[in-house]
Chains A and B, each alone.
Chain A
């Protein structure tokens, strides 16, 4: 059974950095593209970033491009999201999600429980 467990969330001041982690188990992690998706009460679900199965390709939502970096360590079955220059509007529950395919037909067939990031002074 697939299990994705996020960690690393917390309260951080605007302009500071934070790193989220997502530990995967129950799957051959290195076979799948992985994503970060965030959720806020006001804006609903928002896709944040994608990394290919082998880590060679990364894609980002315009709202985080240049500030966030997605990475993975397949030897540790772990996905990361490095978040720099955090803004109040980055406050959200961050989910990692597994995608069985790639390209434009991506859907998310497994989700973690989420880790809460609050950006506030």
Chain B
């Protein structure tokens, strides 16, 4: 069971907007630990998608955005494309565990 909780799956039609939640607690996201997001395409390693809540590495389209509220963070994908079909993971730091922690991952399906 992961420290950060994500929905197992979300889906949307091409062009739609989907959001993925990442829920933590007062030892991680609620303690102002920064949240980062990764995209993992089938058969490949995770790739950094968003860092520091809402910063995109070079090459990541602005269709991807992040936000935080309280003990939760969210990743939004607008203008959904078939190529966005992948697993998405959130990551933060837990001060109680003294460890970097991940969410369980969310599979995005483009209908």
Interchain CB contact (< 8 A) of B57 among A47, A59, A109: A109
Interchain CB contact (< 8 A) of B99 among A61, A95, A105: A61
Interface residues of A in 18-59 (CB under 8 A from B): 35, 43-47, 50, 59
B45: chain A residues within 8 A (beta carbon): 95, 111-114
Are A45 and B93 closer than 8 Å at their CB atoms?
Answer: no
B-side interface size class: 20 to 34
* Interchain pairs with CB closer than 8 A, number: 57
A108: chain B residues within 8 A (beta carbon): 36, 38, 46, 48, 91
Interchain CB contact (< 8 A) of B91 among A50, A107, A110, A111: A107
Stretch at the interface among B10-18, B69-77, B100-108: B100-108
Are A47 and B102 closer than 8 Å at their CB atoms?
Answer: yes
A59: chain B residues within 8 A (beta carbon): 98
Are A109 and B97 closer than 8 Å at their CB atoms?
Answer: no
Q: Please, which residue of chain B has its CB at the minimum distance from the CB of A111?
A: B45
A46 in contact with B102 given A105-B34, A112-B45 (CB within 8 Å): yes
Distance in angstroms from B47 CB to nearest chain A CB is 7
A104 in contact with B34 given A109-B51, A112-B45 (CB within 8 Å): yes
Interface residues of A in 58-74 (CB under 8 A from B): 59, 61-62
A106 at the A/B interface (Cβ < 8 Å)? yes
B44: chain A residues within 8 A (beta carbon): 113
- CA distance in complex: A105, B100 (Å): 9
Are A107 and B102 closer than 8 Å at their CB atoms?
Answer: no
Are B2 and A47 closer than 8 Å at their CB atoms?
Answer: no
Interchain CB contact (< 8 A) of A45 among B47, B57, B89, B97: B89
Given A44-B89, A104-B33, list of 4 further CB < 8 A pairs? A47-B100, A62-B99, A107-B36, A108-B36
Q: Which residues of chain A have a CB within 8 Å of any CB of chain B?
A: 35, 43-47, 50, 59, 61-62, 95, 104-114
Q: Which residues of chain B have a CB within 8 Å of any CB of chain A?
A: 2, 33-34, 36, 38, 44-48, 51-52, 57, 89, 91, 93, 95, 97-105
